[in-house]
Structure 1
Amino acid sequence: MSQRPQTIQIYLPGGDPRGVRVAELTTRIVQVLEVPRSLLGEFLKMPESKQVAVYFLVGQGNDAEDPKVYVGQTSDLPMRFRSHNQEKDFWERALVVISRTQSFTQTHTLFLEWWSLQEAKKAGRYITTNGNNASRPFTPAPLEADCYEIYDTAKTLLATLGFPLFEPVKPIEPASEGLEMLFLKGSGCDGRGYYTEEGFVLLADSTGRRESVQSIKGTADERFRERFIEAGHFVVDGDKVTLTKDHIFRSPSRAAVALLGRTANGWNEWKNAAGKTLHELKRVTAEPDELS
């Protein structure tokens, strides 16, 4: 994603920030509409629903389950969305990419659908639910160049709305972003991760206990760990589990529970190489003499 300053406008057609939202870069023709599933009927009354579009159906998941996405394109959004509403259970929001000047053709959206699906799979942040991989559609070179620009704009707008479909989970250059490696040791665990603005990123190959301790048997914490294993995030090897790929948790405590198999305060469990806790690193107010 471009790191240059940009101005993004978000319009609320119904005045409700939790309702339909329309995002656009003020100098571009691309718009992204975020539509809660409960307001699908309202969206289908809007003129924007009559346009040629590429769209994403998103289910955000939780700490135990990866979010999911379906990538599609159509010149008949009402028909496709009514069908998806009847047949697909997982999605909570539709993200619709259109042109303010109504200049998208089906050639544009066919290429954007194919390219977006490849990029979403490459990023690995969302599980793609499309039944097939599709083949690259024939696209004239000038139009293909336009599609890449449309994609770049849509990628920025989607992330701004809270849907980084094409952003890999793992920080590529942690040091350059001021991220410090954190560790969790003991009780059969060897965890590594980062605390980021999105949550706690637990790194692949971190290991933990297979069995939960008796005190959390039958609780939400044990059920969360079992769902995490069932989802394939952990590979079980005897009394140990190993994380298969980087995973974002909404809190450092959730990441600690996943590894330790017991109730845990992640702010105290996670420490840097010098032994300082995450609490000390991020929450403790600096002493006055340190500010002088």
Structure 2
Amino acid sequence: MTNRPQTIQIFLPTGSPTGVKEAELTNRLLKAMYFPRTAMEDAAKRDIAKYTGVYFLFGTDNNGENKVYIGEGEDCWERIKSHHRNKDFWTSCVIIATKNDIYTKTEAKFLEHVCLKEAKEVGRYITTNDTGSKKPSIPETRIYDLEDNFETLKTLLGILGFPLFRNGAQKETESREYFYCKGKEAKAEAILTDEGIWVLKDSIANLEETKTAGSWVIGMRQKLKDSGVLIQEENILKFAKKVLFKSPSGAAATVLGRRASGWIEWKDKNGKTLDELKRK
């Protein structure tokens, strides 16, 4: 979907900016409710909790990797209460339904199927669903409506801080900015986005850290090794998949195995640094 200006309305039922939030695009059918697991009691009081729709349970694993469980329900709250008893990993939940509760069970299952399929393809979060979601039979005319709803759903999740379906390393506009970081054996390629800097799959990092790398560099690289992102191949480390870094310096330090200023180390194809292009 092409990016365009939109108006979002966010309501804080308890007045707390870290508690329950209800979000909607003013001219769209869907509505979302976010709540931390610690605010189950407050969330249960909201009408949308009991609507027919889809829900997302977000958390992390022991390596700090983002995880999500995607489900649906005629009464979402009944399903979420069950997960509260039986699933440990999640810390936050988002429920998405129509503002006037008009989804049928079949329509909710269709959205669950689309969400799970797309989440697996994008790969930003580890999906914890034990099985896939079978695509239900639904009239063709309704499919187009629900696919349009899915675009709104993606926007609402992103607004609430969960860019589950956003692949920052894919083409979002016609111009992508590529940058390169090199040193010793290292040779990495990255794309700069409004989220941070994506180091691309098959980029190469130095195998060893320098003596002055510091614990944060060593720890950051070890975490990526433990999660299978950085794989050793002979005398180098290779990125097994694309990785988003919030700062250019974090990305450069990971690639080079030392303390580094990413604003200087990342350069475009003409040799101009990020500092020259973005800060001056």
TM-score when scaled to structure 1?
Answer: 0.88
Shift of 1:173: 5.8
Change (3 A) 1:126 1:140: same
Q: Does 1:31 align with 2:31?
A: yes
For residues 255 and 121 of structure 1, the distance between their equivalents in structure 2, rounded to whole angstroms, comes to 25
Per-residue Cα deviation, 1:156-177 (whole angstroms, up to 9, x for no partner): 2222223222222313166x34
Q: Does 2:210 correspond to 1:213?
A: yes
Aligned to 2:127: 128
Contact 2:14 2:20 in 1 (8 A): yes
- 1:85 and 1:173 map into 2 onto residues whose CA distance is 36
Root mean square deviation of aligned Cα: 2.2
Alignment identity in percent? 39
The 1:89–1:239 alpha-carbon spacing in structure 2 relative to 1, beyond 3 Å, is: farther
State how 1:45-56 maps to structure 2 within 5 Å: 45-56=45-56
Which residue in 1 is equivalent to 2:185? Answer: 188
1:187 positional shift: 2.4
Contact 1:30 1:97 in 2 (8 A): yes
1:53-75 per-position Cα deviation (integer Å, ceiling 9, x unaligned):
2011123689x754221110112
CA contact (8 A) 1:7 1:26 kept: yes
Cα shift readout 1:184-212 (whole Å, capped 9, x = no counterpart): 11122101112221011111111011222
Which structure 1 residue ranges, 5 or more long, are not aligned? 285-292
How far did 1:140 drift?
Answer: 2.9
Structure 2: give runs of 5+ residues left out of the alignment.
none
Which residues of 2 match residues 162-177 of structure 1 at below 5 A? Answer: 162-172=161-171, 176-177=174-175
Which letter maps to 1:11? Answer: F
1:290 equivalent in structure 2: none
Decide whether aligned partners of structure 1 residues 270 and 262 sit closer, same or farther in structure 2, where only a CA change above 3 A counts: same
Task: For 2:101, give the aligned amino acid.
Answer: Q
Q: CA deviation at 1:103?
A: 0.6
1:279 aligned partner: 275
3-state DSSP class of the match of 1:171? coil
1:83 Cα deviation (Å)? Answer: 2.6
Whole-Å Cα distance in 1 between the matches of residues 202 and 144 of structure 2?
Answer: 39
1:9 positional shift = 1.6
Number of the residue aligned with 1:268: 264
Q: CA deviation at 1:29?
A: 2.2
Equivalent runs, 1:61-210 vs 2, <5 Å: 65-172=64-171, 176-177=174-175, 179-210=176-207
The one-character-per-residue Cα deviations of 1:105-149 (angstroms, maximum 9, x if unpaired) are 111111111111011112222221111123212223343333222
Q: Scaled by the length of structure 2, what TM-score is found?
A: 0.91
Asked if the contact 2:76/2:95 (under 8 Å) is kept, the reply is: no
Distance 2:159 2:194 in 1: 13
1:13: which partner in 2? 13
Is 1:253–2:252 an aligned residue pair? no
Partner of 1:225: 221
Alpha carbons 2:169, 2:191 under 8 Å: kept = no
- Report the count of equivalent residues: 280
User: Contact between 1:270 and 1:278, CA under 8 Å: does it hold in 2?
Assistant: yes
Displacement after TM superposition at 1:44 (Å)? 1.1
> Structure 2 CA distance, aligned partners of 1:153 and 1:273?
36
Q: Answer yes or no: is 1:59 the counterpart of 2:59.
A: yes
For residue 215 of structure 1, give the secondary structure of its aligned residue in structure 2. coil
CA distance in 2, matches of 1:85, 1:201: 34
